[in-house]
Amino acid sequence: MKESIAMQNLPPYLFARIEKKIAEARQKGQDIINLGIGDPDLPTPKHIIDRMAQAIYDSANHQYPTSTGLIEFRQAVAGWYSRRFGVELDPASEIVTLLGSKEGIAHISSSYLDKGDINLVPDPGYPVYSIGTQLAGGIPYIMPLKAEHGFLPVLEDIPADIARKAKLMFLNYPNNPTGVVADLAFFRKVVEFARSYDILVCHDAPYSEVYFDALQPPSFLQAEGAREVGIEFHSLSKTYNMTGWRIGWAAGNSYAIEVLGRFKSNVDSGVFQAIQYAGIEALEGPQECVEENRSVYQERRDVALAGLQAMGWSIDPPEGSFYFWVPVPKGYSSASFAEMVLEKAGVIVTPGNGYGEYGEGFFRIALTVKVDRLKEAMSRMYNAIGKVEF
């Protein structure tokens, strides 16, 4: 039984490989500190869990949900956008509920691409942008994210013939893995570029509420004309520590939202309604938990920055997300450095080449362990490698 060509060409998912390495190290009895996977260690806030507990006993929630989501949940999303960004959305036509934003990011390519069509994909970037493109039969065209350009794609470098053939452009700010925040001026340039070439912009924004030093990231939908050319993916995973709950949304251009909703109605049966009611509580309930999360990540960021500086790194701290994007020392590739740190320090970091060709030469640290373990990880790395050279 032979799988499809698309599956044959698909590499193992990056984090599946990391999980395998962790399991192998633990089998050897190593105490592993995992700075590799961006899964918040903080618990889902109690008021959200309590609302889920209430909703799960309501038999009305035990039946099939609507594929596009409860209108009440979509109204809660619209209210959140209005309060947070000043963006007014129609819950009925400009928002679709997702089984986590990853699902929608993968499915938007299947909704739009015919065989051989082009998607513009950032590199380094979340692997699902390219994977979803390939599974749909499309071709990812790489937009390099380089330090000298602030880890923003240079739109002028995209050849006109490629832009004319492109159907989608993926963006992600605050950025995973680089931690960079884009401003509205950049988003306005993207709107003009997309309008010129009839491209649907797909902005992935799950880290919009994880930011540092009071630098509030904007929404792509705040840019004038953005809803004419784009949609924004979002999730409750990082903002409310709900990664396992699998609930998110796409918002923006009404035609694209309808297309994505139509695709979903044919391949899944929607989000369990009790989870949607928990999502409403997250968006409309007390928001102190969001600020508390930011304070925790701010402390962790500062600890990691001090540890990396003590080892000789001179780097800009991340502006958003909970990641550090760090150049590897002289004499190492991304993979060899990550392997050395695991073997000698018992610390998992993510090799940058897992995020694409332009991720080579970097590694990523996730701030998803408690401060004492983060300090220990920095100490172990210092003992293993000492002062780094570049």
pLDDT, tens digit, 9 for 90 and up, residues 319-364: 999 999 999 999 999 999 998 999 899 999 999 999 999 999 999 9
Q: How many domains does the chain have?
A: 2
Q: Residues 92, 36: one domain?
A: no
User: In this structure, what CATH number is given to the domain that contains residue 334?
Assistant: 3.90.1150.10
CA pair distance 347, 343, nearest whole angstrom: 8
Q: Residues 62, 88: one domain?
A: yes
284, 310, 340 — which closes off a domain? 284
Q: Residues 266, 360: one domain?
A: no
Residue 68 lies in a domain: yes
Are residues 261 and 68 in contact, defined by beta-carbon separation less than 8 angstroms? yes
Q: Residues 36, 69: one domain?
A: no
284, 308, 343 — which closes off a domain? 284
Query: Model's pTM, two decimal places?
Result: 0.95
Tokens of 35: 């700075």
Q: Residues 151, 14: one domain?
A: no
pLDDT (0 to 100) of residue 255:
98
Residue 143 lies in a domain: yes
Secondary structure of the chain in HEC code, one letter for each residue: CCCCHHHHCCCCCHHHHHHHHHHHHHHCCCCCEECCCCCCCCCCCHHHHHHHHHHHCCHHHHCCCCCCCCHHHHHHHHHHHHHHHCCCCCCCCCEEEECCHHHHHHHHHHHHCCCCCEEEEEECCCHHHHHHHHHCCCEEEEEECCHHHCCCCCHHHCCHHHHHHEEEEEEECCCCCCCCCCCHHHHHHHHHHHHHHCCEEEEECCCCCCECCCCCCCCHHHCCCHHHHEEEEEECCCCCCCHHHCCEEEEECHHHHHHHHHHHHHHCCCCCHHHHHHHHHHHHCCCHHHHHHHHHHHHHHHHHHHHHHHCCCCCCCCCECCEEEEECCCCCCHHHHHHHHHHHHCEECEEHHHHCHHHCCEEEEECCCCHHHHHHHHHHHHHHHCCCCC
Tokens of 90: 């129609």
227, 261, 284 — which closes off a domain? 284
Residue 185 lies in a domain: yes
Q: Over range 153-173, report the average pLDDT.
A: 98
Percentage of the chain exceeding pLDDT 70 = 98
pLDDT digits (tens, 9 = 90+) for 68-78: 999 999 999 99
pLDDT digits (tens, 9 = 90+) for 35-66: 998 999 999 999 999 999 999 999 999 999 99
Q: Residues 242, 347: one domain?
A: no
User: In this structure, what CATH number is given to the domain that contains residue 168?
Assistant: 3.40.640.10
Q: Residues 331, 353: one domain?
A: yes
CA pair distance 29, 19, nearest whole angstrom: 16
Residue 390 lies in a domain: no
Q: Residues 230, 85: one domain?
A: yes
370, pLDDT greater than 90: yes
18, pLDDT greater than 70: no
Q: Over range 103-125, report the average pLDDT.
A: 97
Q: Residues 141, 51: one domain?
A: yes
Q: Over range 173-187, report the average pLDDT.
A: 98
Q: Residues 17, 162: one domain?
A: no
Residue 247 lies in a domain: yes
Residue 373 lies in a domain: yes
pLDDT (0 to 100) of residue 193:
98
Q: How many CA atoms lie within 13 A of 264 on its CB side?
A: 28
Q: Residues 244, 329: one domain?
A: no
Domain span holding position 18: 5-43+288-385
Q: Residues 264, 372: one domain?
A: no
At residue 14 the predicted structure's pLDDT band, cuts being 50, 70 and 90, is low
Residue 178 lies in a domain: yes
